[in-house]
Amino acid sequence: MIIRPVEASDLADWISMRSQLWPKDQDQHPIELAEYFAGKSIDIVETFVVEIADRELAGFIELNIRNFAEGSRSSQVPYIEGWFVKSGHRGEGYGKALMQQAESWAARQGFKEIASDTESHNQTSITLHKKLGFIETERIVCFLKSLK
């Protein structure tokens, strides 16, 4: 297992994994990742992948720097925007290794905390976050309305 920064040659695999994590947004993935590789992403600052045998990617973790995270008083907080391990590779420690890489990256940048979220019904993710030392800070319902 190798945890490394994502590369342009990983694009197809990264899109595929994102499509499994966020199937409703499949049309947006190629656009968002093109922005990332062009250095123009507003959603992703750094991404790590877990590479296993024969350059197969088994998962990824995407990080951003947000100006706010529930429970934090810091003006900037590294934020886990996406964390995914393929279903056939779950339970093998890849998710934990990705999170450890994200935490190490954030610490090297000088940050003292890292934040994340998940949907309220995703008990597996909630359990994993808590197992890895995250503390639940809040539960909210978010809304958005278009102004015409």
> What's the pTM value of the predicted model, to 2 decimals?
0.91
Token pair for residue 55?
Answer: 């350059």
Q: What pLDDT was estimated at residue 54?
A: 86
Work out the number of other CB atoms within 10 angstroms of the CB of residue 147: 3
Contact 64/44 with Cβ under 8 angstroms? yes
Q: What pLDDT was estimated at residue 132?
A: 95
Read off the pLDDT of residues 11-49 as tens digits, 9 standing for 90 and up: 999 999 999 999 999 999 999 999 999 999 999 999 999
For the cut 90, the answer to whether the pLDDT of residue 96 exceeds it is yes
Read off the pLDDT of residues 134-144 as tens digits, 9 standing for 90 and up: 999 998 888 98
Average pLDDT, integer, range 58-81: 94
Class of the 2-131 domain?
alpha beta
